[in-house]
Every structure is written in C-alpha cells, then in structure tokens.
Amino acid sequence: MIAFTHKPVMPEECMQGLAPEESGVYFDGTVGGGGHSYEILRRSSPGGRLIATDLDENAIAAARQRLQEFAGRFRIYKSNFKRYAEVLADAGVGGLDGVMLDLGVSSFQLDEASRGFSYLKDAPLDMRMDPSGGLSAADVVNGYSEERLAKLLWEYGEERFAKRIAAAIAKRRTSRRIESTAELAAIIEASIPAKFRQNGPCARKSFQAIRIEVNGELDGLAEAVKGLTLRLNKGGRICVLTFHSLEDRIVKNVFRELAEGCICDKSLPVCVCGRKQEIKILTKKPVTASEREREENPRSKSAKLRIAERIREYS
C-alpha cells in the first residue's frame, strides 16, 4: 500500500464552521485519511467523541492510524454515510453536535493507480470506492447503451463532446471490451476535435462522470444531507465540502428548504403546511479556498464549503 497522502481541504474554515466543543459528539461521513477528523478530535479534547464512516477499507486503515492518539474517543465504520441512521444506532448516538462531509474521492484514491480512478495512470477500469461490490467502471463503459453513456457524460461531466465520446466507446466495444484506463482515455482523446485538445487532459470530465455513476455519488445525497442536518442538536453545525456543481446545488437546495419556515400562502389565517425553520444558513455564498491553499493544494480549487446551524432541538 502506498502512503496515504491526502491534504484536507479548507481545514481551518471547516473547523471554524464546526466549532468543536469538549463535550460534543461529531459525525464525519467521509473520514478519508482522517484529516478533518483529526482536527475535530484535537479541538474537542479531552471529552469530544467522533463517529466516522468511509466506503474504502484502505482509507479507514489510514484514518485509524492517523487518529490513534485519540483511541477510545472515536469509532469508524465501513459504511456509506447515507446509512448514518444504522451507524448512529449501533454507536448508541442520538443527536449530533457537528457533521462533516467532504465529498468525492481522496488524492490517495486518485494516486493509487491500481484503483483505476486516474486517466493519467494505466490500470484496470475500476473506480469503485468500495471494490468489494457493485458495478465497476468497466461494467458501465461496456454495458450501458450509447444513449445512456452520452447522458451521463453530459450530465455528470458537463462534457460537451459527450455524444461523440459515447459513439466512439460504442464502436470500439463491438470488437473488444474496454478494460483499461489508458484505453478509455485514448478513445476519449481521439473523440475530441484537435482544436479543443489544448486545454489540459481531455479525459478528466468523462472520468469524473463515470466515477460519479459507478459510486452512485448523487443518489440519495439530498436525503442524507437533510437527515444528518436534522440529527443535529440545537446549535450543532453541518459543514459540507463539494467538488462538483451538481453536488453543490443539492446541498444548497437542502439547506434552503430547511432554512425556510412556513410556506403557506400569506392570505391564510393559520399555517397549514406545518413546516418550521430548522436551520440558519451560515454561508450565504459557499466558502472557497484561499489563493494560497489553491496554489499549495490543487484539489481545493473546485471546492465549495457550505455551513448551517440547527436552531431546534433534536428529538
């Protein structure tokens, strides 16, 4: 296994948002290498507790090592954070004082060539965060119809040449299965007109789109963000870091809905919708990384951080 080299994005901004407290109980749904979790545990010492999840066993092993000085104060589950209710029930936790979600892949996953996430390194087409189950990237690339591929490349990758790329994939796989990242990257490259090939690697958007599909990254995200926000105790905060416009829009819309109170027509004498304001949004616009961080950690360039605070008790 290669060393876990993931620099947490906007750690200071996230911790200012979460404001961990000594007696708090925190949930980190995407523990990764434990960068944000480390700060949560450090700043909530000596009594703060942390429940964390990740889909990736290698990430969990790295996080356990990184957090060992806080042994006894944290538990990490190999689970999708969308199954937070089961995880929190198992941990015997009710209301939370803070939630951290840092979505997407880690630099570690991208750097580990054998995982097949990177178009820069040749490897079997896999891209599963949890390689123990589910469809691999090869299954998607070889099994989806041309139309379905074009749609996902367009929607998840905002790839303007989605149709051409999907057509080239469909053509190639009539003679043989596409099994490697290098093969797929070459097909994508060849599908993009020469004059559009100058602005960096051509395969980035398509690889991102396939990864989002393979891992179902957007499926159930709104429900999970909403459910976790409603698990917060009064005054508890949620910080969500996103790296894709569709993810950011989902988080923005969930926060908006929860920050809105009654939506009844103003002419009605009493509320009939029963909706109450649940949170206060602390970031009217998403926070982005400083110039310095963007230079030092290129992954932070596309990051958007949204923070909200619960204004009602969890019951």
Ligand X SMILES: C[S@@+](CC[C@H](N)C(=O)[O-])C[C@H]1O[C@@H](n2cnc3c(N)ncnc32)[C@H](O)[C@@H]1O
Does residue 80 belong to the site contacting ligand X (CB under 6 A)? Answer: yes
Does residue 30 belong to the site contacting ligand X (CB under 6 A)? Answer: yes
Q: Quick one: 172 or 211, whose CB is closer to ligand X?
A: 211
Are 113 and 122 spatial neighbours (Cβ–Cβ below 8 Å)?
yes
Does residue 17 belong to the site contacting ligand X (CB under 6 A)? Answer: no
Does residue 304 belong to the site contacting ligand X (CB under 6 A)? Answer: no
74 SS3 class = strand
Exactly one of 24, 33, 48, 157 binds ligand X (CB under 6 A); that residue is 33
The residue type found at 49 is: R
Residues 103-122 that bind ligand X (CB under 6 A): 104-106
Does residue 278 belong to the site contacting ligand X (CB under 6 A)? Answer: no
R_g of the chain, CA atoms, integer Å? 21
Q: What's the distance, Cα to Cα, between the start and end of the chain in Å? A: 43
Exactly one of 18, 41, 59, 99 binds ligand X (CB under 6 A); that residue is 59
Does residue 81 belong to the site contacting ligand X (CB under 6 A)? Answer: yes
Does residue 49 belong to the site contacting ligand X (CB under 6 A)? Answer: no
Segment lying near ligand X (by CB under 6 A), choices 55-63, 135-143, 147-155, 226-234: 55-63
d(CA 260, CA 191): 46
Are 66 and 42 spatial neighbours (Cβ–Cβ below 8 Å)?
no
Does residue 242 belong to the site contacting ligand X (CB under 6 A)? Answer: no
Does residue 82 belong to the site contacting ligand X (CB under 6 A)? Answer: yes
Q: Is the dihedral of CA 16, 21, 27, 30 positive or negative?
A: positive
Least distance to ligand X, CB of residue 80, Å: 4
Exactly one of 55, 138, 203, 308 binds ligand X (CB under 6 A); that residue is 55
Exactly one of 54, 159, 213, 247 binds ligand X (CB under 6 A); that residue is 54
Exactly one of 13, 15, 24, 53 binds ligand X (CB under 6 A); that residue is 53
Does residue 129 belong to the site contacting ligand X (CB under 6 A)? Answer: yes
Cα 50 to the chain's mean position, in Å?
A: 19
Q: The tokens of 281 are what?
A: 């949004």
Q: Quick one: 162 or 289, whose CB is closer to ligand X?
A: 289
Cβ-based burial of 245 (10 A; exposed 0-12, middle 13-18, buried ≥19): exposed
How many residues line the site for ligand X (CB under 6 A)? 22
Does residue 8 belong to the site contacting ligand X (CB under 6 A)? Answer: yes
Q: How far is CA 135 from CA 78, 139, 144, 210, in A?
A: 18, 6, 11, 11
Size of the chain in residues: 315
Q: How far is CA 43 from CA 21, 40, 128, in A?
A: 7, 5, 33
Least distance to ligand X, CB of residue 23, Å: 23
Segment lying near ligand X (by CB under 6 A), choices 52-60, 120-128, 160-168, 300-308: 52-60
Segment lying near ligand X (by CB under 6 A), choices 24-32, 158-166, 230-238, 306-314: 24-32
Q: Where are the beta strands (DSSP E) in the chain?
A: 25-28, 49-54, 74-78, 96-102, 232-242, 279-281, 304-310
Does residue 208 belong to the site contacting ligand X (CB under 6 A)? Answer: no
Residues lying near ligand X in the complex (CB under 6 A) = 6, 8, 29-30, 32-36, 53-56, 59, 80-82, 102, 104-106, 129
